[in-house]
Structure 1
Amino acid sequence: MRPVRTAFAGALLGTLVLAGCGQTATPTPSAAPTAAAPASSAGFPVTIEAGNGKVTLAKKPERIVSLSATHTETLFAIGAGSQVVAVDDQSNFPPEAPKSDLSGFKPNVEAIVAKKPDLVIVSNDIDHVVAELGKVNVPVLLEPAAVKLDEAYEEIAEIGAATGNKAKADEVVSGMKTAMEKLAADAPKDKKLTYYHELDQTPYAATSQTFIGQVYAMFGLTNIADKAPDQAGGYPKLSAEFVAQADPDLVFLGDVKCCGQSKETLAKRPGWKGLSAIKNDQVIQLDDDLASRWGPRVVQLAEAIGAAVAKAGTKS
């Protein structure tokens, strides 16, 4: 997810790593060391089956670098914040994350190594950064953009195990599952509403096969992008005419902070002034970051969608 939406639309079609804002709980302190197993080695070595294969960590990492806004959120949510020494320039949540000028889109191996990391976490193997860091013996955990909720849960658990925060990570995942299941159970399924989710004003959309599309599906919504002629890996570029003809009941905007989109700007697009969602005031401005990440705050995204569905009516 991205600071420039053209970059976002292209790269999100693979990663979704926009940054977020907000607050989080104070990181949970690590367990006190024991005589038999110091805090630096308790539970280690550990082997994680990540996107780059099996990654073995001999001891608990104490200098973590995150090049993924989503994984930065996860690290702090599971109590690993005190172990993080630097995050990429898109990681804006939580506020206390040690933001740097490191780029997750154009990783500079020399700059990363200068942080003296004992673990680097990425969501993309851009410019073969995994192998390049491997050449200088820096462990890398590749956790790609999730395409299913279960994958998001699994990645949080894996990051917890890799950082020595397994118990807290399992607790976070359990809480997420409970919250998502309740939201899905409480959602009205008889409204038969259609929706359009906008990634940027190109406009790129997301189908039901994507991560965010599956979150919408929890609420019994029908995605107009599923009938786009070119599915483009789940992120089709729609024409203004296509959206106007589909006339969705709900429009969700994921390009608010980046691009200033609103009901008013949509109404100025050719053929969109008469959209039911605009006439019925059912254009929902999402938090760009929540709409483009797959970490612990996906629950907040689902809550926003659920609230919109609960108050929505069908076309008048």
Structure 2
Amino acid sequence: MSAATPGVTPYYFVPAPSRHPVMAAFGLFLVILGAGQWVNGHGWGAYSLAAGLVWWLATLFFWFRDSIGESESGQYSERVDVSYRWSMSWFIFSEVMFFAAFFGALYWARVYSVPMLGDIDHREILWPDFRAVWPSGGTGSTASPADTVEPFRVMGPWPIPTINTAILLTSGATLTIAHHAVIAGQRSKAIAWMWLTVLLGITFVGFQAYEYIHAYRDLNLKLTSGIYGSTFFMLTGFHGFHVFVGMLMLVFITLRLMKGHFTPERHFGFEGAAWYWHFVDVVWLGLYFLVYWL
């Protein structure tokens, strides 16, 4: 932490060099390494993934603790508040591009790749038994002419995806109520609605975990189930991870509310988490329509 006069807000706070970024990067390295090895059949990857998550979450805890301490000690001026708002805005924009790439992969596979493999040149020369229909495990199609993909059934919109849609939309409403309560200075009301929002987030993640069990056990739908399986788990899996991260944000914001950290005039920590949660809601609506219905 940079030196500052006690009780006086600096013109602009500049923190000292920190170990947190490199430690967080190391944790994410273990996560990616473990996940990549686990899905390729190496059992030790699961341990690397778990260790990386624990390391990463512990780093975030200490990193956020330091930032909260700086904020509560009066180090952050309005200029720092503005920089945080711009930083969160650009972060959410990067997440928009992140999901745009995945939705783009789904679009390209459905509109270009699968029809191209089914045209006369490819069908007659490469895969005579291939039928260019979506989903790739649909009626009348041969999902894998070379028998590299096991037969599977697709995931429909009912009941769990539709229930989860209602849960996320409700959580957006409860979070908005809590935000208005913070603005009105009604801390107890805000805390109650925030815990309800967290509970809805936990319920969403629980339903999605059950959906994955159902997909593997009953539908034989896996990450290896052709282009449909890979795009399905890529989109729903990364979205579920974002819900989990957003839920952690809401938990810490609620705990800070209970400690009295926010005022009606200054509560960007709350607003930043709310922006992220509403972003997750919007992404799910697109995912629900494009993945489960079409």
TM-score category of the 2 structures, normalised to the smaller one: under 0.3
TM-score normalised by the chain length of structure 2: 0.27
TM-score normalised by the chain length of structure 1: 0.25
